[in-house]
Amino acid sequence: MVFDKIAFLRKHLQYEEDHMEYEPKELQEMTAAAKEVFKEEKMLIRIKAPIKIFGDIHGQYRDMHQIFATAGRPDKTHYLFLGDYVDRGPHQLETICCLLAWKICYPYQFHMLRGNHETRNINRNYGFWDDLHQRFEVNEAIMLWNEFNALFDWMPVAALINNQILCMHGGVGPTLNSLDQITQIHRPLSDISKYPVAQDLLWADPCLGLSGFTRNTLRGVSYFFGEDVVNDVCKKLNLKLIVRAHQMMPNGHGFFCRRKLVTIFSAPNYYFPDQINMAAIMTLQANLAAGFTLFNPTKNFEEGENEFRQLFNENASTGWGYASRKNLKEPSAMDASTSMTRTC
Is the whole-model pTM more than 0.75?
Answer: yes
Q: Tell me, what's the pLDDT at 256? A: 96
Give a yes or no: residue 209 inside a domain: no
| Enclosing domain of residue 103 | 5-204+224-319
Classify residue 215: in a domain, yes or no: no
Burial of 240 (0-12, 13-18, 19+ CB in 10 A): middle
pLDDT the model gives residue 240? 97
Residue 328 in domain: no
Catalytic residues: 117
Whether 334 is in a domain gets the answer no
Give the DSSP letter string of 274-342: TS---EEEEEE-TT--EEEEEEPPPSS--------EEETTSPPP-TTTSEEGGGTT-GGGS-TTT-STT
In-domain check, residue 124: yes
pLDDT at residue 69, as a whole number: 84
Q: Would you tell me how many other CB atoms lie within 10 Å of the CB of residue 55?
A: 31
Looking at the 3D structure of the chain, how many domains does it have? 1
pLDDT < 70 stretches in the chain: 1, 15-17, 272-274, 298-344
Q: Does residue 214 lie in a domain region?
A: no
Q: CA–CA separation, 285 vs 291, rounded Å?
A: 8
pLDDT tens for 221-257 read 999 999 999 999 999 999 999 999 999 999 999 999 9
| 126 occurs within a structural domain | yes
* pLDDT score of 270: 83
Summarised one tens digit per residue, pLDDT across range 271-313 is: 766 678 899 999 999 999 999 999 887 665 444 333 333 333 3
CATH number for 163 = 3.60.21.10
Which residues does 300 contact at the CB level (< 8 Å), separation at least 6? Answer: none
The per-residue pLDDT for range 52-72, each reduced to its tens digit, is 999 999 999 988 988 888 888
What's the confidence (pLDDT) of residue 177?
97
What DSSP character marks residue 145?
A: H
- Asked if 276 and 150 count as a contact pair (C-beta separation under 8 A), the reply is no
Q: How far is CA 331 from the centre of its chain?
A: 25
Separation between Cα atoms, residue 240 and residue 41, nearest integer Å? 24
**Domain assignment present for 330:** no
